[in-house]
Chain A
Amino acid sequence: MASDQTSSLAVAVPAVRAGRRLGEFTATYGLALVFVLVMGLFGLLRPSTFFSAININTILVGQSVTAMLALAEMIPLATRQFDLSVGFHLGMAQVLIVGLQVQYGVPWPVAAVAILLLALVVGAVNGVLVARFGIDSFIATMGVGTLLFGVSNWYSGGQQITGNNLPASFTGLTGIYLHIPLPAVFVAVAAVLLWIVTERLPVGRSLYVIGANPRAAELTGIRIERHIIGTFTAAGFLCGVAGVMLGSLLQTGTPSVGPEYLLPAFAATLLGATSIHPGRVNVVGTLLAVLILAFSFSGVQQLGAPFYVQYFFNGGILIIAVGLSVYAAQRRRRAATAAEAGLEPKAGSRPAGGEGRKADGAIRNPG
Chain B
Amino acid sequence: MAVGGAARHSVAEHAMEAGAAPALAIDGLTKRFFGTLALDRVDLALQRGEIHALIGENGAGKSTLIKCLAGIYQADGGEIRLHGVRVEPWLHELPISFVHQDLGLVDELSVGENVALVSGFPRRRGLIDWRGVWSQAREIYAAMQVEAPDPRLPVGTLGAAGRAILGIVRALARRSEIVVLDEPTASLPEPDAQHLFQVLRTLRASGKGIIYVSHRLNELAGLADRVTVLRDGRKVRTARLADTTPKALVRDMLGREIGMAAVAHAAGGASQPVLTASGLWIGRRGPVDFEIAAGDVVGLVGLRGAGQQDIGRAIFGAVRPDTGELRLDGIPLSPDESIPERIARGIALLAGDRGRESAFSGMSVQENMLPSPHIGGEAAWRWVAPGRERRRIAARLERFDVRPRNPAALIDWLSGGNQQKVFVGRWLESKARLFIMEEPTAGVDVGAKFAIHQLLRDAAARGAGVLVVSSDFEEVAGLCDRALVIGRGRITADLHGGDLSVDNLIACSSMGREESGAD
Q: List 19 A-B contacts (CB under 8 A).
A: A9-B408, A201-B383, A206-B373, A206-B380, A213-B356, A213-B361, A216-B356, A220-B372, A341-B64, A343-B404, A344-B62, A344-B63, A346-B413, A347-B417, A350-B102, A350-B104, A351-B71, A353-B104, A360-B413
**Category for how many chain A residues contact B:** 35 or more
* B75 contacts A by Cβ under 8 Å: no
When chains A and B are docked, how far (Å) is the Cα of A200 from the Cα of B380? 10
Pairwise interchain contact A213-B72, C-beta atoms closer than 8 A:
no
Of the candidates B35, B72, B383, B408, the one whose C-beta lies within 8 Å of that of A5 is: B408
Q: Shortest beta-carbon distance, A351 to chain B, in Å?
A: 3
Bound CA span A365–B357, Å: 20
Distance A157 CA – B243 CA, assembled complex (angstroms): 91
User: Within the assembled complex, what's the spacing in Å between the Cα atoms of A217 and B359?
Assistant: 9
State whether the Cβ of A178 lies closer than 8 Å to any Cβ in chain B: no
Given contacts A1-B386, A216-B356, A342-B233, 7 further A-B contacts (CB under 8 A): A201-B384, A206-B371, A219-B316, A336-B410, A339-B34, A340-B404, A343-B59
Interface string of B364-395 (1 = CB under 8 A from A): 00010011111100111111101000100010
- Given A13-B36, A217-B371, A344-B58, A364:B426 Cβ within 8 A: no
By a CB distance below 8 angstroms, the chain B residues around A364 are 362
List which A216-249 residues lie within 8 A (CB) of chain B. 216-223
What are the interface flags for B464-499 relative to A under an 8 Å C-beta threshold, 1 for contact and 0 otherwise?
000000000000000000000000000000000000
- Ranked nearest first, the 9 interchain pairs of A and B with the lowest CB-CB distance are A351-B70, A221-B374, A348-B102, A202-B373, A220-B372, A221-B340, A342-B36, A212-B360, A5-B408
Choose one: B98, B338, B405, B426; the contact of A352 (CB below 8 Å). Answer: B98
A200 pairs with B98, CB closer than 8 A:
no
The interface residues of chain B lying within 8 Å CB-to-CB of A221 are: 339-340, 343-344, 372, 374-375
* Residue among A1, A333, A348 with max Cβ neighbours from chain B (10 Å): A348
- With both beta carbons as reference points, the residue of chain B lying nearest to A336 in the complex is identified as B413
Decide yes or no whether A180 CB sits under 8 A from chain B.
Answer: no
Q: Is the C-beta of A357 less than 8 angstroms from some C-beta in chain B?
A: yes
Contact A345 B415 (CB under 8 A): yes
**Separation of A339 and B104 alpha carbons in the complex (Å):** 24
B198 at interface by CB-CB < 8 Å: no
Taking CB atoms, residues of chain B closer than 8 Å to A1 are 386
Q: Does A209 contact B (CB under 8 A)?
A: yes
B residues less than 8 Å from A15 (CB atoms): 34-35
Q: Which residue of A lies closest to B408 (CB)?
A: A5
The answer to whether A350 and B98 touch across the interface, beta carbons within 8 angstroms, is: yes
* Given A10-B405, A215-B357, A340-B413; A345-B70 close (CB under 8 Å): no
- With a cutoff of 8 Å between Cβ atoms, the chain A residues found around residue B66 in the complex are 351
Q: Which residues of A contact B100 (CB under 8 A)?
A: 347-350
Residue of B nearest to A362 (CB): B362
Given contacts A216-B357, A342-B59, contact A360 B372 (CB under 8 A): no
Report the bound CA distance from A280 to B357 in whole Å.
20
Partner of B407, one of A8, A219, A340, A349: A8
Query: Does A11 touch B at the CB level, under 8 Å?
Result: yes
Contact A344 B59 (CB under 8 A): yes
Query: Which residues does chain B contribute within 8 Å of A205, judged by CB atoms?
Result: 367, 370-372
Chain B nearest CB from A44 CB (Å) reads 36
A residues 318-367 near B (Cβ < 8 Å) are 333, 336-353, 356-357, 360, 364
Q: Which residues of A contact B104 (CB under 8 A)?
A: 350, 353, 356
